[in-house]
Amino acid sequence: MSGETTLTIIGNLTADPIIRYLNDTGDAVVNFTVASTPRVFDSKTKAWKDGPALFMRCTQWREAGEHVANSLNKGDRVIVVGKLSQRDYTDREGIKRTVMELVAEEVGTSLKYAVAKPVRSKNRNTGRPNPQPDNNPGVDDDPWANVRADKDEVA
């Protein structure tokens, strides 16, 4: 869908990610909140201090969500890239509410204050089709490959 707002947020997890599995499909969905606190310079005290924190609710789906739940913990510094989404729901008291959340496309550990060694999952479904063998490799795919110039036409 075009026109979506892509957002990158860097901050710390406020709690351990919570994973659920949908009853109808069995898909995993993980929810977590990232607190992003800017550093601001106080000209009166001539010192840096924490500015107002932004708390962003994030969602990650399926296998990537399982990786988030199995890899990250409260306090971990993360980088999240995703699409900003507005969702309406009705709470337990019957009041309609609106929530903004970041539907994560990528979640990673920040290496600013930590060291990490990535471990690939055994089930790596990338969503790309398996390559098919090419029965006519090379020139048949190139429309210009069979065009020949006569000596007189070449400058």
**Average pLDDT, stretch 61-70?**
92
Cβ-Cβ contacts under 8 Å for 20 (sequence gap 6 or more): 28, 29, 30, 31
Of residues 127 and 94, more confidently modeled? 94
% residues pLDDT > 70 (the chain): 77
**Average pLDDT, stretch 11-28?**
93
**Average pLDDT, stretch 135-152?**
49
Specify the pLDDT at position 91. Answer: 92
Of residues 125 and 56, more confidently modeled? 56
For domain 5-120, which CATH number applies: 2.40.50.140, 1.10.565.10, 3.40.109.10, 3.10.20.90? 2.40.50.140
Asked whether the predicted pLDDT for residue 135 surpasses 60, the reply is: no
Distance of alpha carbon 95 from alpha carbon 88, whole angstroms: 10
Specify the pLDDT at position 122. Answer: 74
E-state strands within 14-95 = 18-21, 28-36, 39-42, 47-50, 54-61, 77-90
Asked whether the predicted pLDDT for residue 134 surpasses 60, the reply is: no
Annotated domain spans of the chain: 5-120
| Residue 34, burial from CB neighbour count under 10 angstroms (0-12, 13-18, 19+) | buried
State both tokens at 41.
Answer: 């310079």
Specify the pLDDT at position 115. Answer: 84
The overall average pLDDT reported for the chain is 82
**Average pLDDT, stretch 31-57?**
93
Asked whether the predicted pLDDT for residue 147 surpasses 50, the reply is: no
User: Nearest 10 degrees: CA dihedral of 73, 91, 104, 14?
Assistant: -20
Of 8, 10, 2, whose CA–CA distance to 76 is shortest?
10
